Every structure is written in C-alpha cells, then in structure tokens.
C-alpha cells in the first residue's frame, strides 16, 4: 500500500483542519520506479473508497490529473511543474471545493544525449508506448487506491500529446473496467473511471508535421527535433505517423468511436499561445514554457471547464 498524504502531527488524523495536504511522491507501480510516481494534493479528506459504509462512497467531485511536458525526455520537467498552477488553484475562491483531488504524474523518460541517467536501470530505451502505459497505470492506481471515478485531464506539450493519444485510441480506452469485473463501457459504474474533459496546452498531434515545420538546411533546430522524435518514438517514420492523433485512421473521432474509448467525455479544450516558439496558434499568452511556469492561465481554463460541467 502506498503512503497516504502526510499531515501535521495531530491526535485526530481525520480532522478537516489539517487539510489541504500535499504528498510529493507516491509510487503507482510495484516494484516502485523513480519516475513512476505522482504527487497528490487533497483539499479535504477523501472517503474510504473500499468502505461498505454508503456514507463513505467515493467523492463525486472529479480529480484533476496533470501531465507535464518536456519532449518525453527532459528530466527538468517533472510532476513538480504543476507547482505554479497548484498555487493559483489553492488560493482560488471556489475551485478547491469543486475538486476531489489534484494529481500530477511523472512517467519514464526517453533517452537524452545530455542525460544518460534517463534510462538508468532500464533494460531497453524507454520509447512509445511506454509513456502511455505509465499514464494508464497511474490512472488505474488512482481509481483503485483513492476512489477516483471522474477526472479532468490537463496536459502541456508532450503531456497534452499523451492524453490525446489515449483519446485517439493509440492507447487502450481511458475508461477501464476493474480487473475483477467483466468488460463494460458504462462510465457510471463503480468500477470505472470517466474522463469528463481534456485541457490540452501546446500539444503536438502530428509528429511528421512538427519535424517538417522545423526542418530547414540552415536551421540549428532541425537535428534537435529529429532527435526528440526518434528518441521517443523510434527511427521509423511509420511509427511517427501511427503515434500521431491527427493522422490515425478515419472515423477515430466519430461519436461511436469516442463512446467506446472515452464515454462521458464532454469537451476537449485546445490551447496555444501566439508567442509559442514550438506550436503556434492563439488563445494563451507567453512562450511555450511560460504557460506552465505562470499557471494562472491554466487555472482560468480549469475554472471555465468546471463551470461548463456544472462541477
């Protein structure tokens, strides 16, 4: 059993006055791995998800799940990059009361020429779909250990790509039945988790196009982008296409297909910044990393989304 969120010393460990609590490192795999961990912020005590007491049913409010970026390989971008967002969120007048918990996920990283320790202890280089498998393991862990039933996903850059890959069916469905239960697609059962909304910030959904957009004989960045994609997805261009949510088979985003992969999904919010030097469109402000470094814009989107959900 992983450690529960820590609290200040108190003889009554269930008093609400001890909250919110923050636990910076909880392993979600067995055996534990340094990067298969998550941080968890709880604005109030969670009910005991396994208790037979109906008054302790799982919290009906959604979890907020955050996935960091970093080109699938930057060891400086970790679950801790949620800190600015969490600071804004915790001081928000209403958002803490509308969420059950906030979890920020780490996942294993692909090779980086400047950081050989990325794959320390791995038998093989970490490549797609290992990152996706880690995300799914963390979601299952939060469901089984903390009673998560509904959630809102927030991803930045590679984190946004990972979430969209899941919705595109590149990974297994995000609503997953309990291993002890028969397969089901019903999102409201007690054995499933339901994805309600995605907030995707500066994501990369077409890997070949990313490389093409930054390929020029005189550009110093061409080899960098080629290295990023190859280290995370392998050298074969067919693999890049197969991992690109924008390039998957026709019909992937039909109502029927989406109902199978993510029943309950009500909204996907795509955010970019005109000042983003990697991915450019509009709506947000600042450079590629300033979006998460500031955090305020992310919290504003979270508030808007929860308002639309009625949460």
Tell me: the pLDDT tens digits for 13-24? 445 568 999 999
pLDDT mean over 119-128: 88
| 268 beta partners | 198
**Number of domains into which the chain is organized:** 1
* Domain annotation covers residue 253: yes
Burial of residue 269 (CB within 10 Å: 0-12, 13-18, 19+) is: middle
Residue 201 clears pLDDT 50, i.e. is over it: yes
Tell me: the pLDDT tens digits for 49-62? 555 565 567 788 99
DSSP state of 218: T
pLDDT mean over 38-48: 92
* Domain annotation covers residue 159: yes
* Domain annotation covers residue 185: no
Q: What is the pLDDT of residue 5?
A: 44
What residues make up the domain containing 238?
21-46+57-171+192-309
* Domain annotation covers residue 12: no
| 270 beta partners | 200
Full-model pTM: 0.80
Helices (H), 71-206: 83-90, 95-98, 130-146, 158-167
Q: CATH number of the domain that 152 lies in?
A: 3.40.50.1820
Radius of gyration of the chain (CA): 19
pLDDT bin (cut points 50, 70, 90) of residue 221 is low
* Domain annotation covers residue 217: yes
* Domain annotation covers residue 215: yes
* Domain annotation covers residue 64: yes
Burial of residue 255 (CB within 10 Å: 0-12, 13-18, 19+) is: exposed
pLDDT mean over 233-238: 93
pLDDT mean over 99-109: 97
* Domain annotation covers residue 177: no
Tell me: the pLDDT tens digits for 80-101? 999 999 999 999 999 999 999 9
| Cα-based distances in Å from 2 to 147, 203, 237, 255 | 14, 31, 40, 38
CA dihedral 276, 65, 72, 35 (to 10 degrees): 140
Dist CA 291 CA 202 (whole Å): 9
């Amino acid at each position: 059993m992983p450690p529960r969120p820590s609290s200040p010393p108190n003889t009554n460990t269930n008093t609400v006055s001890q909250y919110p609590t923050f636990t910076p490192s909880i392993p979600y795999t067995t055996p534990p791995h340094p990067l298969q961990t998550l941080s968890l912020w709880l604005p109030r005590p969670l009910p005991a998800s396994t208790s037979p007491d109906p008054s302790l049913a799982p919290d009906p409010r959604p979890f907020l799940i955050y996935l960091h970026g970093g080109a699938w390989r930057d060891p400086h971008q970790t679950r801790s990059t949620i800190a600015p967002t969490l600071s804004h969120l915790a001081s928000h007048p209403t958002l803490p009361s509308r969420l059950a918990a906030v979890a920020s996920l780490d996942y294993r990283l692909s090779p980086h020429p400047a950081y050989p320790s990325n794959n320390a202890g791995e038998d093989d280089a970490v490549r797609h779909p290992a990152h996706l498998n880690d995300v799914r393991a963390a979601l299952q862990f939060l469901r089984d250990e903390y009673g998560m039933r509904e959630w809102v996903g927030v991803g930045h850059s590679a984190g946004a790509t990972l979430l969209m890959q899941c919705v595109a069916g590149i990974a297994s469905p995000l609503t997953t039945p309990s291993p002890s239960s028969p397969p089901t697609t019903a999102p409201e059962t007690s054995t499933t988790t339901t994805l309600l909304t995605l907030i995707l910030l500066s994501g990369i959904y077409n890997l070949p196009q990313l490389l093409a957009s930054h390929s020029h004989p005189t550009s110093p960045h061409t080899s960098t982008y080629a290295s990023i994609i190859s280290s995370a997805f392998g050298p074969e261009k067919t693999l890049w296409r197969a991992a690109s949510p924008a390039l998957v088979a026709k019909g992937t985003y039909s109502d029927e297909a989406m109902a199978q992969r993510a029943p309950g999904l009500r909204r996907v919010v795509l955010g970019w910044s005109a000042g983003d030097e990697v991915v450019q469109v509009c709506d947000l402000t600042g450079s590629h990393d300033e979006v998460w470094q500031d955090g305020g814009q992310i919290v504003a989107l979270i508030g808007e989304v929860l308002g639309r959900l009625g949460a």
